[in-house]
Structure 1
Amino acid sequence: MAADDELPWGMQLELVDLPARAELQSPGVPVSHVHFPVSALVVLLRPTAGGDEVPVALVGHDGVVGVAAFFEAPPEASRAVVLHPGAAWRLAVSALVADGLQSARVIQAVLGHLQVLTSQMAQTALCEKTHSVEPRLCRWLLNAFDRIPDDALALDLGDLTEMLDVPVDALAGAAAQLVAKGALACEPGRLVLLNRAKLLAQTCGCQVMVSNRGM
């Protein structure tokens, strides 16, 4: 959803910078603001029974963080953390409840976003069970690059070991293959997309299925 005058909130939207690792949402805690990322990338993490966290979806300029507030629903179970720093539109929940919930356009967009999130979660679970490290890495990178306006992510391979839950040696080997093929560049603190078509050629069908369900 674009932050323009057609949306019901008008001047109540505030453009803010989101630093890496900023927590926008905590499990079971009501949010005070919803965020519409512009250039930031946010990861949704779900807690496990053992106390760990599992990345389940990415939110960028295609969606919103704090979606439960649109339906005045109980707080979400996931934690939302900024993975790639950037800008986002921020809106107080009080303004959302007062002005936004009657807009059919807003509700349609949010429902579309929920469909994309559901598809992401389902395909991530399937991909982890059925595919090797390289296609999983490619799928994750394409999901990330498709949700930011730039071709560079402020991440390194250490960050991706947490996102994909694979040993760093295996991830480094898969990334080296992508570098050799001219699809990706690995720089200190940055992953740069060089050729999307080459990256797409190495991914699995999960990426295509998720992309075809976008808003």
Structure 2
Amino acid sequence: MTDLDDARIHNFLLSALPADEWQRMRPHLRLVTVHLKETMYEAGQAIEHVDFPVSAVLSMITQVDQETAVEVATIGREGMAGLPVFLGVSDSPNTVVAQIEGLIIRMPAARLREFLLGDGILHAQLHRYVQATIVQLSQNVACNQLHTTEERAARWLLMTADRVGSPQFALTQEFLAQMLGVRRATVSLTAGMLQSAGLISYRRGNISITDRAALQDAACDCYPRIRSEFDRLRNNR
């Protein structure tokens, strides 16, 4: 996939744009490959560009202390990284890194601001995306406080599969530990339990969901609540 027109249909926000609005936006876009752990933005620094994931998945991380960082939101093909630009803010409150490598469509932040001066479908879609992101953030807070590591890991794996559009994706235990805010040994134990139960297969840094229905049963109720919000965004409701 090397063409912007082909790539944009995989991002929910861009695929919703009518042809004329897309053609006005297209000259300001470029297709970029991002790699595992690559940093999109650093907390407290200016947002120079916004990113619409196509096949990559990005992670919004907050630093708790010098040793601990926790994921607060995941950004995949349903949305856009750099949402503060839409809200009129220039700096990123969080660090955003690639958790799954792949393609994104990148646009300079200044160009997005100019583009949004005209009232179009993208403006409406971003409002819906703000709502879905607020639900995700609030649900994550409750989830991190109330649910077990196994439940949260199952939710995270399901959400990642949704965002890449595949039951298979590359993932290290180190990265999953950071996303869940737990020690690597805890992740190793949790992944082993899910694998022993036949829910996933984990080998050499690659995850394969082998029983999605059972994995959904193992996940907490946060997963269907977050999923329903992004389904509404995809279906323009």
Aligned AA (1:193): I
**Is 1:126 the counterpart of 2:122 in the alignment?**
no
Name stretches of at least 5 consecutive residues in structure 2 with no aligned partner.
1-12
Give the structure 2 partner of residue 90 of structure 1: 106
Higher mean C-alpha deviation, range 166-175 or range 64-73 = 166-175
Counterparts of 1:195 and 1:113, CA distance in 2 = 29
TM-score (norm 1): 0.91
Number of aligned positions between the proteins: 214
Decide whether aligned partners of structure 1 residues 188 and 108 sit closer, same or farther in structure 2, where only a CA change above 3 A counts.
same
Distance 1:173 1:53, change over 3 A: closer
| Structure 2 counterpart of 1:213, one-letter code | E
**Structure 1: segments with no counterpart, 5+ residues:** none
Instruction: Indicate yes or no: 2:116 matched with 1:62.
Output: no
1:143 matched to 2:155: no
- Paired with 1:25 and 1:167, the residues of 2 have a C-alpha distance of 25
**CA 1:161/1:53 → structure 2, altered by over 3 Å: closer, same or farther?**
closer
Q: Confirm or deny: 8 A CA contact 1:101 1:107 kept in the other structure.
A: no
Q: Structure 1 residue runs of 4+, over 6 Å off?
A: none
Displacement of 1:126 = 1.0
The 5 A counterparts of 1:1-215 are 1-2=13-14, 5=19, 6-7=21-22, 8-48=24-64, 50-51=65-66, 52-214=68-230, 215=233
Identity over aligned pairs, percent = 24
Q: Deviations over 1:123-174 (max 9, x none)?
A: 1121121111211110111121111122222212222111112233332222
User: Alpha-carbon deviation of 1:9?
Assistant: 0.6
Deviation string 1:180-207 (CA, Å, 9 cap, x unpaired) is 2322110102111222212101111111
Residue 68 of structure 1 deviates from its aligned partner by 1.7
Q: Which amino acid aligns with 2:132?
A: V
- Could you say if the C-alpha distance between residues 169 and 71 of structure 1 is closer, same or farther in structure 2, counting changes exceeding 3 Å? closer
Contact 2:32 2:106 in 1 (8 A): yes
Counterpart amino acid of residue 166 in structure 1: V
Distance in 1 between the 2:45 and 2:113 partners? 17
What is the root-mean-square deviation in Å for CA atoms of aligned residues? 1.8
1:22 and 1:183, CA in 2 relative to 1: closer, same or farther beyond 3 A? same
Aligned mates of 2:114, 2:76 — CA distance in 1:
25
Contact 1:46–1:55, Cα closer than 8 Å, also in 2: yes
Task: Please tell me the residue identity of whatever aligns with 1:118.
Answer: I
When you count helix as a share of all residues, which structure comes out higher? 2
**Cα separation, 2, equivalents of 1:208 and 1:9:** 33
* Residue 121 (structure 1) shift: 1.6
1:36, CA displacement in angstroms? 0.1
Summarize the Cα distance change of 1:170–1:23 in structure 2 as closer, same or farther, 3 Å threshold: closer
Provide the rounded CA distance (Å) in 2 between the counterparts of 1:168 and 1:21.
17
